[in-house]
Structure 1
Amino acid sequence: MKTAPSTHPQLFAGRDEPILDPDLAIIDAHHHLYDRPTQRYLLDDYLEDAQAGHRIVASVYIETMAFARVDGPDVLRPLGEIEFANGVGAMCASGRYGDIRVCAAIVGHADLRLGDAVAELLDRAMQAAPERFRGVRQVAIEDPTDAPYRFIPVRPPSGVMRSPGFRPAFRHLVERELSFDAAVFHHQLRDVIDLADAFPDAAIVLNHCGHAMAMDMGEEEAAEVFRQHRALMFELARRPRVQCKVGGLGMPFWGFRLEERQDLIGYQELATLWRPFVETAIEAFGVERCMMESNYPPDARSAGFVPAWNALKHIVRGASPDDKAALFHGTAARVYRIELPSSVT
């Protein structure tokens, strides 16, 4: 029997919850696989979660620099992870592991501070995984406090999106019709707005509802963060090529402090806490530009896989069937160019 690391207390929790809306097809728009000293979460682990009751039909693999090459030019090191994820995608496409197409799309890493040198990486990645490589992410979250870095295995570099090489590198993404996953805190959303204005044809995907950073804050401070976050989300949503991933709410940055709990946290409690941010994202961007994500396993700090999806379903339970289809698989299929199974209508 597996034992969840203490930093992910909800990793195996809640799998016996009744499944809400069990026939709703889901493309998990954001998850990771890795093998680290503190946690191993690979294909078998993801399949245990994805086959626990919700109808996950495909997934989008997002980089964490897992399995990066240990030698060769730094700019090309991310190819190792892309090759790894592509292999997992090929394994699952065989049908040997059931009907779930894990890693049907891949978002790899690129250090966009390196400018034009990134072009070779992008071309090599497109050659290595032509059916799955869809874009890149470079985590750019930063905060004036040290609070968030307690939960980040490798501290991201500062000033990523304002570095001299970033926009020259970003131009290569746009020219190749590759997407950019933007991982920032809410107070950095102006950087994403500026980027979208500079590259109006770029496909930008905001991660985790724009991550309202409210760790270690009191009630009044957190309320002010929500007001700022909401205003910035609506401003960003005026850029029509920006999409939004709805999830990542199990991370500690939101200030819910659920990561401190050891008891089972059910979907109704999650839904109550998450609702304002989920509804803000959907209200701002619309269902056609929102896609639901598990952000697993990092979200296991606060939410079991089954309860997390139940919570998202519960929050939007009043939506029409067409709106639910867009949120849970349609937008992700379009943005990441994933062919839906014929059984999904």
Structure 2
Amino acid sequence: MPSTTSPTAISSHLTVRPDWLNRRREPAIEPDLPIVDPHHHLIDRPESGRYLLPDLLDDINGGGHNVVATVYLEWLSMYRLDGPEEMRPVGEIEFANGVGAMCASGSYGKPRVSAGIVGHADLGIGARVGDVLDAMIAAGGSRFRGIRFISASDPDQPHWGATAIRPRGLLLNPKVREGFAQLAPRGLTFDAFMYHPQLGDLVDLARAFPQTPIVLNHVGGPIGLGRYTGKRDAVFSDWSKKIQELAACPNVHVKLGGLGMKVFGFDVHEGELPPSSEQLASAWRPYVETCINAFGANRAMFESNFPVDKGSYGYGVFWNTCKLLTKGASAPEKADLFHGTAARVYRLKL
């Protein structure tokens, strides 16, 4: 099976406007609550802009929340320039591991950025991907935890600027599954991102590989644009049923975030002022509560998805939103949602 990704196949996202974001500042709610941010990116490419360690630390420190560690998620960053194509993503692991080593020195403050690393490997090459995974394990030292293999694709994706064209039923492909089978023997996790009409494929995959930890990104991608515009209730009904099916698979976990992306169809980025945490909590509550009720706090984790979501709101406002959404949760539930689940899934030593 040919490769299904390339270094230029990247979605477009909302423009980050610092002056606009600076118009909304909120004091941190429960500022001492430890947080592991299990999903952020670092990037430096002409077509995608620059968001590197100093930028992330500015967001963390400016938000006033107690972020103790992060998990780096692949975003086509710092691929090797040459060598076999399937090995080029190893460069991203080397880059992220370097960031992790910098932060582990303590010279950059408390947050242990890139304490865990999730890279990309092309499962479409089948069992040969095992050599790529072994190279990533070596490159990531004690920090490499697994891969993400995005299968998100929809006929209406031009409506939200997504440019990567992927085959339908990608996770059902025998060659991809041959590659997927290489994860569990190496103790690696699988991060999945797809849109809500594709969630059935992930249910099938999770049932076929019950020993592989799977993390569903961005609450499962309920689409709010294109042919789904104005159909939020119908989408929610379809999405929530599939979330229940996924939650029945004990090896699946869910990330609560990503809702600032275009695909969800929210319009908070169009306001004269950035949204408040109260506004976001009101809009997101049905999705977040559905996921927590289905998976339980011990299989759910809040994620910032920065800088992708930074076009919609600030980092501090995001974590305030999460804290508003869990106002009635018990202390153990909050501990899981904000750091415990992420630490267990990605095997972080806090």
TM-score range for the pair, normalised by the shorter chain length: over 0.9
The corresponding residue for 1:172 is 182
Alignment gaps of 5+ in structure 2: 1-12
Distance 1:40 1:15, change over 3 A: farther
User: Cα gap change, 1:115/1:218 in structure 2, threshold over 3 Å: closer, same or farther?
Assistant: closer
Judge which range, 8-17 or 135-144, deviates more. 8-17
Q: Secondary structure at the match of 2:132?
A: helix
Answer yes or no: is 1:229 the counterpart of 2:239. Answer: yes
Q: Structure 2: how far apart are the matches of 1:183 and 1:167?
A: 16
Aligned residue pair count: 333
Whether 1:19 and 2:28 are equivalent positions in the alignment is yes
Q: Do the aligned partners of 2:160 and 2:262 also contact (CA within 8 Å) in 1?
A: no
Q: Give the structure 2 partner of residue 212 of structure 1.
A: 222
What is the rounded CA distance, in whole Å, between the counterparts of 1:254 and 1:339 in structure 2?
34
Q: Output the aligned Cα RMSD.
A: 1.6
Structure 2 residue identity aligned to 1:64? W
Q: Is the CA contact 1:181–1:205 (under 8 Å) kept in the aligned structure 2?
A: yes
TM-score, with length taken from structure 2: 0.91
Match of residue 268, structure 2, among 253, 258, 264: 258
2:100 aligned with 1:89 = yes
1:149, distance to aligned residue in structure 2 (A): 4.8
Partners of 1:15 and 1:305 within 8 A in 2:
no
Q: Is the 8 A contact 1:20 1:310 kept in 2?
A: yes
The aligned residue for residue 346 of structure 2 is 336
Q: Structure 2 matches for 1:26-41, cutoff 5 A? A: 26-37=35-46, 38-41=48-51
Q: TM-score, normalised by structure 1?
A: 0.93
Contact 2:14 2:262 in 1 (8 A): no
Tell me if structure 2 keeps the 8 A contact 1:89–1:104: yes
Per-residue CA deviations over 1:60-79 (Å, capped at 9, x if unaligned) read 00001111112111110100
- 1:300 matched to 2:303: no
Gaps of 5+ in 1: 341-345
Give the aligned partner of residue 90 of structure 2: 79
Number of the residue aligned with 2:3: none
Q: Which runs of 4+ in 1 moved over 6 A?
A: none
Tell me what 1:131 maps to. 142
**What corresponds to 2:279 in structure 1?**
269
Going from structure 1 to structure 2, the CA distance change for 1:6 and 1:318 (only over 3 Å counts) comes to closer
1:135 and 1:178 in contact (8 A); partners too:
yes
- Quote the Cα distance in structure 1 between the aligned partners of 2:342 and 2:107: 24
Q: Which moved more, 1:251-260 or 1:110-119?
A: 251-260
In structure 2, what is the Cα distance between the partners aligned to 1:83 and 1:15?
36
Which of 191, 196, 203 pairs up with 1:186?
196
Corresponding residue number in structure 2 for 1:122: 133
CA distance in 2 between partners of 1:156 and 1:183 (Å): 14
Cα distance, 1:145 vs structure 2: 1.0
> Partner letter of residue 109 of structure 1?
H
Q: What is the DSSP-based 3-state SS (H/G/I as helix, E as strand, rest coil) of the residue aligned with 2:182? A: helix
Specify the alignment match of 1:8 in structure 2.
16
Per-residue deviation, 1:218: 4.2
SS at structure 1 position matched to 2:183: helix
